[in-house]
Amino acid sequence: MIQTDILIIGAGPVGLFTVFEAGLLKLKSHLIDALPQPGGQCSEIYPKKPIYDIPGFPEVLAGDLVNNLMEQIKPFQPGFTLGERAETIEKQEDGTFVVTTNKGTKHHAPVLVIAGGLGSFEPRKPPIANITDFEDKGLAYFIRDPEIYRDKKVVISGGGDSALDWSIYLSDIAAEVSLVHRRKEFRGALDSVEKVAELVKEGKISLLTETEVTGLNGEEKLSSIEITRKNKEKEQLEVDAFIPLFGLSPKLGPIANWGLEIEKNAIKVNNALDYSTNIPGIFAIGDVNTYPGKLKLILCGFHEAAIMAQYAYNIIHPGKRYVMKYTTVNGIDGFDGQKKEAKKTVAVSI
């Protein structure tokens, strides 16, 4: 059985940053994730997608953010159980928890932190009769490697941030980029909408609004698509790739059966204090939780991790006082003395 101080379910950015905050408190962390590598959606779905709202980074690729977080937590030597899903939870008589994965791996900890993002998820697919026939044969629901589309004819369908951002990104890579949306208005960020409009004027993106992709054609792989306009007029477009980006359908999976208070497919937490759930010793942070005023942003999850770790310390070391010290003064001490940095003092001239 794997023993740890804090057991983190979900190895996305927020789960990884939790390791850092726990490490500053000399707490050992172990992470469970159903994906085969750390990083969550940032690694699995859009590693090459730029993120603009991480403090200190005007722009950072999702995959690079994950790499930076992995480097940041190295001194604390976290454990990982990857490619396994947290399946069941058993509360022990002493208040600790045993979590067992779908492959039978058991983990024991006094504190459980759910940082599972959207939980388990699957792409929302457009209602095209033969869509499954072309999956991985020219049709993809995620963009993992943009280079696959270099010098190709690409059609992207959708009206949100992902559709806009990837249309912009691929306009410098693909031979042709067409963006298809069934409405005139987009749901994405205004800056992205304006950038797409600019690229349309430059001839780098073909924009088809009030239009839907209604058919897929090809023998061994996708070769063309059928689009239908608002006036029911149909047209065939030659394509090498079709990427429908309609978001994800989130599911909490087994977590939904753990007795936690759930609201609209998210876990209710006490945001006035510590992001605890209705079960003492279990916390939920990041996109998986909900509370009044909740914003589903990575940076908000980072904040929640920092607050939560302070209260987790009190559970693990009841009655033991901890004085928070700034890393600029105290440096970073690795867990069990690993990779210690010398303590720094700050001289102030007046």
pLDDT tens digits along 187-219 = 888 888 999 999 999 999 999 999 999 999 999
Q: Is the dihedral of CA 136, 139, 142, 147 positive or negative?
A: positive
Yes or no: say if 24 and 121 are a contact pair by the CB < 8 Å rule: no
Tokens 């940041």 locate to 72
pLDDT average, residue stretch 20-32: 96
Average pLDDT for 15-34? 96
Please give the pLDDT value at position 145.
83
Last residue of a domain, one of 197, 219, 246: 246
- The answer to whether position 344 is within a domain reads no
Q: Do 151 and 239 have their domain in common?
A: yes
Q: Do 261 and 249 form a contact (C-beta atoms < 8 A)?
A: no
pTM to 2 decimal places: 0.67
Indicate if 234 and 262 belong to the same structural domain. Answer: no
Distance CA 93, CA 58 (A): 49
**231, 295: one domain:** no
Determine the Cα–Cα distance for residues 6 and 3; give it in Å rounded to an integer.
9
Residues 132 and 242 in one domain: yes
User: Where is the domain boundary, 246, 271, 286?
Assistant: 246
pLDDT at 43 over 80: no
Distance (Å, whole) CA 297 – CA 265: 17
Q: Give the per-residue pLDDT at 120.
A: 58
| In a shared domain, residues 241 and 253 | no
Report the alpha-carbon distance of residue 216 to residue 139 in Å, rounded.
9
Task: Confirm whether 76 is domain-assigned.
Answer: yes
Return the CATH number at 155.
Answer: 3.50.50.60
Q: Is the pLDDT of residue 320 over 80?
A: yes
Residue 319's pLDDT band (cuts 50, 70, 90): confident
pLDDT digits (tens, 9 = 90+) for 115-146: 987 665 667 899 999 999 999 899 998 887 89
The count of structural domains within the chain is 2
Alpha-carbon distance of 29 to 334, in angstroms, equals: 12
The answer to whether residue 350 is domain-embedded is no
Q: Are residues 43 and 111 in the same domain?
A: yes
Residue 346 lies in a domain: no
With a cut of 70, say whether residue 312 has pLDDT above it. yes
Digit-coded pLDDT (tens) for 206-259: 999 999 999 999 999 999 999 999 999 999 999 999 999 987 766 677 888 899
217 in any annotated domain? yes
pLDDT at res. 152: 97
| Of residues 147, 145, 196, the one with CA closest to residue 173 | 147
State the residue range of the domain holding 180: 125-246
Last residue of a domain, one of 205, 229, 246: 246
